[in-house]
Chain A
Amino acid sequence: GAGVSQTPSNKVTEKGKYVELRCDPISGHTALYWYRQSLGQGPEFLIYFQGTGAADDSGLPNDRFFAVRPEGSVSTLKIQRTERGDSAVYLCASSDGPLSEQFFGPGTRLTVL
């Protein structure tokens, strides 16, 4: 079946603007994760959803970052008042439950000018 998909693949915005990044998980996967990868580093955890609820948001860097998953499938990561330091690749992953293999999408490359 289809893998994890993310849109847009690239997003260029100006400092101070608001952006939304979308993730479509593998059909039937109840767990969804957001990670952020800076150049030359491994991905870093941001937030984990089990169903509709955020079970762990300890990785969100500050209150400008927020994510939702209202129907337990698609998720949107929202970033307010973007800063140049937010520039990175934002990765989404899904799994069929906790402690299960995670599968990653292709990522959204965010550039804040």
Chain B
Amino acid sequence: GIQVEQSPPDLILQEGANSTLRCNFSDSVNNLQWFHQNPWGQLINLFYIPSGTKQNGRLSATTVATERYSLLYISSSQTTDSGVYFCAVEGASGGYNKLIFGAGTRLAVHP
């Protein structure tokens, strides 16, 4: 099945710093979502982005489907950005309608 790899696995930032999280996937996808899992375990939708670029406040994301990767940019990070960021994809061939998650990037933002 499709493989999803996220990097880096762990990231420590000072408040105000910028960062880029990467998601590589091994096959064509019909859907790609970025989530933030907060310390209480809730998965919060950040972007639904099977291709192209989107921005929402301090966050933006770009998916280059032909090269099988997506990037999540966090600018001017805040302590509330701490948590785990997951990339999840729905494969285009077989096994669609299920999200396959990466292992996540654990982000800690210190004041």
Number of A interface residues in the complex (CB < 8 A): 27
Q: In the complex, which residue of chain B has the Cβ closest to the Cβ of A103?
A: B45
A-B contact number at CB 8 A? 59
Which of A43, A89, A98, A106 sits near B101, CB closer than 8 Å? Answer: A43
Tell whether, in the assembled complex, residue B97 and residue A31 are in contact, meaning their CB atoms are under 8 Å apart.
Answer: yes
Confirm or deny: B98 has a beta carbon within 8 angstroms of a beta carbon on chain A.
yes
Tell whether, in the assembled complex, residue A104 and residue B42 are in contact, meaning their CB atoms are under 8 Å apart.
Answer: yes
Could you tell me the dominant secondary structure of chain A's interface residues?
strand
**Bound CA–CA A99/B50 (angstroms):** 10
**Bound CA–CA A103/B88 (angstroms):** 12
Tell whether, in the assembled complex, residue B98 and residue A33 are in contact, meaning their CB atoms are under 8 Å apart.
Answer: yes
| Chain A contact residues, CB within 8 Å of chain B | 31, 33, 35, 41-45, 48, 50, 55-56, 58-59, 89, 91, 93, 98-104, 106-107, 109
